[in-house]
């Protein structure tokens, strides 16, 4: 969907910053205003429900403030946002992930988004929001982590595991996971064709064709797809890590795994197809985050009794065991420098961190960002599966590894997506493909 420029038009000084924070309420002049909110999450039913509830409640508190939501599905959102930021037609509020902040801010000279230091630095928000420390460019905040977060685990259908005689607690390593996936791939109706698969992996053009591989296998053993040592700096061409020995091994392992007809369904072009196969009982396992809990409940509440969750498996490589290190994936929000109403945009974003708003966000299935709210007994009682993700993060996973927060990250990400398609869809040689990717990534720094 293309957003009409007139809906987002506005002029501001390039160094514009919001004024001092205020309680939720009418704008200073009492005038009717409209804020536009861009997000890739709105395409998914549980998030749409949560975001609609947030906006409805905020409008009750602020009758003069109208918030309209624009967006696209995850696969198409990012190219669309790039076009809009370059044209200056992005929303007043843009929701992204921390690794996207620097990339999109750098698309225009002087930056496209507002420096939020006056609201966040030295304030309670700086400490109580999960992922807030990731929302910086240099030493300054350009986003607020006010929605929710989640890392990843393996969801499974309890009934299919029971039928196959597999104890989910016995799956500790990547090899255990592979063996279970192969065992779960069966011909259920006796027609000589597989109609149930072990793991609903993405094998298509969707970005997840890359991210499932590197979140589950590559990053734990290599320390980073783009740079070594947990995607740490200095971010220079000579430190590109994509074709390291560990990453090549991981790509070969994953290529063999997804080419096993019992392990994964062929030609699963995007994540939506894989999720549908899981819900329909055609796939026994699905890698996803806490948002999948809300999706499943929205799809069919009866499925919740058959929904199990286990942590990502550890990986044994070159005689050493590596813990999973999926990133925490917080959704963060920025304010456009083109916004006519940056003060009102900030008031809404700040209100989203309140317990009242966080309770609505919990309905999305993701884990709300406010640490104080998530620590309440009421939240834990109402969200037992989501709480498991926190347990995995605290007890079974290594420190999370995030994408590098650098302007070149958009280019690097596209290179790895294209390369993953070559390896996992086109079945090209992993080492040759990753060597080519390394050369392209180094070019991005010239």
The domain segmentation of the chain, as residue ranges, is 5-145+332-365, 153-327+402-443
Q: What is the pLDDT of residue 30?
A: 67
Q: How far is CA 268 from CA 1, 183, 199, in A?
A: 24, 19, 11
Q: How many angstroms separate the CA atoms of 160 and 147, rounded? A: 34
Asked if 227 and 294 count as a contact pair (C-beta separation under 8 A), the reply is no
Instruction: Please tell me if the domain spanning 5-145+332-365 has the same topology as the one spanning 153-327+402-443.
Output: yes
Classified by CATH at the fold level, domain 5-145+332-365 comes out as: D-Maltodextrin-Binding Protein; domain 2 (3.40.190)
Asked if 416 and 240 count as a contact pair (C-beta separation under 8 A), the reply is no
- Provide the b/e sequence for 420-441 (b: ≥16 CB within 10 Å): bbbbbbeeeebbebbebbbebb
The β-bridge partners of 332 are 96
HSE at residue 86, side-chain half, CA atoms within 13 A, is 7
**Residues whose CB is less than 8 angstroms from the CB of residue 39 and which lie 6 or more positions away in sequence, other chains included:** 47, 51, 69, 71, 77, 94, 95, 331
The β-bridge partners of 259 are none
Q: What is the pLDDT of residue 31?
A: 80
H-only helix segments in 122-239: 125-128, 158-164, 174-184, 208-213, 219-222, 228-231
Measured between its terminal Cα atoms, the distance across the chain in Å is 34
HSE at residue 4, side-chain half, CA atoms within 13 A, is 3
Q: What is the pLDDT of residue 410?
A: 86
Q: How many angstroms separate the CA atoms of 184 and 299, rounded? A: 23
- Largest CA-CA distance found in the chain, in angstroms, rounded: 72
Q: What is the pLDDT of residue 190?
A: 86
The β-bridge partners of 283 are 197
Between CA 344 and CA 352, with CA 346 as vertex, the angle to 5 degrees is 110
Helix (H, G, I), strand (E, B) or coil at 333: strand
Q: How far is CA 176 from CA 173, 222, 314, 396, 404, in A?
A: 5, 20, 10, 16, 31
Q: For residue 109, how many other CB atoms are within 10 A of its CB? A: 7
Residue carrying the six token digits 């929205």 = 298
**Residues whose CB is less than 8 angstroms from the CB of residue 426 and which lie 6 or more positions away in sequence, other chains included:** none
Q: How many angstroms separate the CA atoms of 444 and 446, rounded? A: 6
The bridge status of strand 320-322 relative to strand 315-317 is antiparallel
Q: What is the pLDDT of residue 29?
A: 53
Per-residue pLDDT of the chain (446 residues; tens, 9 = 90+): 223 222 222 333 334 444 433 344 444 556 899 999 999 999 888 889 999 999 999 999 999 999 999 877 777 898 899 999 999 999 999 999 998 999 999 999 999 999 999 999 999 999 999 989 989 999 999 999 999 998 899 999 999 999 999 999 999 999 999 999 999 999 888 888 888 999 999 887 778 889 999 999 999 999 999 999 999 999 999 999 999 999 999 999 999 999 998 999 887 778 889 999 999 999 999 999 988 998 898 899 999 999 999 999 999 999 999 999 998 889 999 999 999 999 999 999 999 999 999 999 998 878 999 999 999 999 999 999 999 998 998 899 999 898 998 889 989 999 999 999 999 999 999 999 999 999 999 999 98
CATH number for the domain whose boundaries are 153-327+402-443: 3.40.190.10
Contacts 24+ apart (CB under 8 A), 244-249: 246/218, 246/221, 246/222, 246/317, 247/218, 247/221, 247/222, 247/434, 248/430, 248/431, 248/434, 249/221, 249/317
């Amino acid at each position: 969907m293309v957003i009409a420029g007139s809906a987002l038009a506005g002029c501001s000084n390039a160094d514009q910053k919001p004024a001092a924070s205020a309680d939720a309420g009418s704008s200073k002049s009492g005038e009717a205003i409209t804020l536009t909110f861009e997000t890739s999450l709105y395409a998914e039913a549980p998030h749409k429900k949560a975001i609609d509830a947030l906006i409805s409640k905020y409008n009750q508190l602020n009758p003069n403030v109208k918030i309209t939501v624009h967006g696209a599905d995850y696969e198409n959102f990012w190219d669309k946002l790039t076009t809009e930021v370059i044209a200056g037609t992005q929303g007043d509020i843009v929701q992204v992930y921390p690794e996207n902040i620097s990339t999109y801010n750098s698309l225009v000279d002087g930056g496209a988004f507002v420096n939020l230091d006056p609201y966040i630095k030295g304030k309670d928000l700086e400490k109580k929001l999960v992922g807030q420390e990731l929302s910086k460019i240099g030493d300054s905040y350009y986003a607020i982590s006010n929605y929710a977060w989640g890392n990843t685990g393996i969801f499974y259908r309890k009934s299919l595991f029971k039928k196959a005689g597999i104890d989910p607690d016995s799956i500790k390593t990547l090899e255990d996971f592979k063996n279970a996936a192969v065992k779960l791939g069966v011909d259920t109706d006796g027609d000589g064709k597989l109609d149930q698969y072990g793991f609903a992996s993405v094998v298509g053009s969707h970005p997840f064709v890359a991210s499932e591989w590197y979140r589950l296998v590559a990053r734990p053993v290599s320390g980073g797809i783009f740079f070594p040592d947990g995607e740490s700096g200095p971010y220079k061409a000579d430190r590109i890590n994509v074709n390291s020995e560990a990453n090549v091994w991981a790509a070969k392992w994953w290529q063999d795994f997804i080419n096993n007809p019992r392990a994964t369904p062929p030609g699963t072009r995007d994540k939506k197809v894989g999720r549908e196969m899981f819900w329909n009982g055609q796939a026994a396992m699905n890698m996803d985050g806490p948002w999948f809990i809300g999706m499943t409940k929205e799809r069919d509440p009866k499925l919740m009794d058959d929904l199990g969750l286990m942590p990502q498996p550890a990986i044994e490589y070159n005689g050493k065991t590596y813990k999973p290190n999926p990133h925490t994936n917080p959704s963060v929000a920025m304010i456009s420098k083109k916004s006519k109403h940056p003060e009102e945009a900030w008031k809404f974003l700040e209100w989203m961190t309140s317990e009242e708003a966080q309770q609505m966000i919990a309905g999305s299935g993701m884990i709300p960002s406010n640490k104080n709210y998530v620590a309440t007994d009421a939240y834990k009682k109402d969200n037992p599966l989501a709480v498991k993700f926190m347990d995995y993060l605290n007890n079974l996973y290594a420190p999370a590894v995030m994408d590098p927060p650098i302007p070149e990250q958009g280019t690097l990400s596209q290179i790895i997506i294209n390369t993953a398609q070559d390896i996992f869809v086109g079945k090209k040689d992993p080492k040759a493909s990753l060597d080519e990717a390394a050369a392209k990534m180094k070019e991005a720094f010239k």
